[in-house]
Amino acid sequence: MTKKVRFTMYNYPIERTAIVTGAASARGIGRDLARRLLKAGWHVGAVDLDATDTSDITIDIDDAALRLSTARADISKEEDVEEAARHFERNLPPVLAVVNVAGISDPTPFLQTSLDRWERVLRVNLTGTFLMTRRFVPGMIERGVGRIVSLSSTAAQSGGGTYSAAAYGASKAGIEGMTRALAIEIASTGVTANAIAPAIIDTDIMGGRIDEERLPYFTSRLPVGRLGRVDEVSALIEFLIGPDAGYITGATYNINGGARIG
């Protein structure tokens, strides 16, 4: 049965779902975003390869446990993506937004990168983003409104860093190219597609928590003199999937503390 959708003055569903990949990491962007969206009244479908502990996501948020659904999935596998999508479509309101956060880093230099390692990074970061996006965009087009936001990285522009090299940079550059191509293709449908390219954000993807010993090395590379916070990234994502961002598409937003300007 088709779920009835109620719209606001922005042609924006009152009851709406955001799919967030990479939500299991305790200190990650995906987890912070899931909590932020629940506070804002969204339903959230949280996807991760690992089981997602939802206790700290839903704490102190009215009826959040009823608006959060989780699925374990390897987003690089089409069958996993399809199973997760069907689970969310059965249990949540129509999907308005897909936020592709899940990804893996790899510091291996180009000449030492094996084909298996190369393909693994691209499968998760680029193919996973492609599969998640492709699965949900048709429904958004049918409803006349939708938002795609995918995480790139400054590594797509700089060529890499301490914890990212050729494969990672290529995967993130691919996300930016795919986002622009998709934005053009669906521009007239009410569905937008944008990317965000963070620099050094204080998450565990940087080889675990950045302690006092390692902190000066990273902050010295940032003109603002500090690491980025997950809430600074999730705040921009919340705006980009909101009703006021309907005229923004095909853009890449740099959240990098001035590491790359222009």
The pTM for the full model equals 0.90
Q: What is the pLDDT of residues 18-60, one digit of tens each?
A: 999 999 887 889 999 999 999 999 999 999 998 767 777 888 7
Query: What token pair was written down for 73?
Result: 């999935």
For residue 111, the model assigns a pLDDT of 97
6 within some domain: no
Out of 168, 217, 247, 253, the active site residue is: 168
Q: What's the confidence (pLDDT) of residue 5?
A: 53
Q: Tell me the residue range of the domain where 80 lies.
A: 17-245
Residue 168 is a catalytic residue = yes
Counting the structural domains of the chain, the total is 1
Structure confidence by residue, pLDDT tens digits, 73-112: 999 999 999 999 999 999 999 999 999 999 999 999 999 9
The region, left, alpha or beta by phi > 0 then psi within -120 to 50, assigned to residue 41 is left
CATH number of the domain within which 164 lies: 3.40.50.720
Is there a domain that residue 9 lies in?
no
Q: Decide if 85 is inside a domain.
A: yes
The answer to whether residue 254 sits within a structural domain is no
pLDDT at 227: 74
- Residue 256 domain-assigned? no
pLDDT at 108: 93
pLDDT number for residue 200: 78
Question: Does residue 255 sit within a domain?
Answer: no
Average pLDDT of the chain, as a whole number? 89
Residue 106, domain member (yes or no): yes
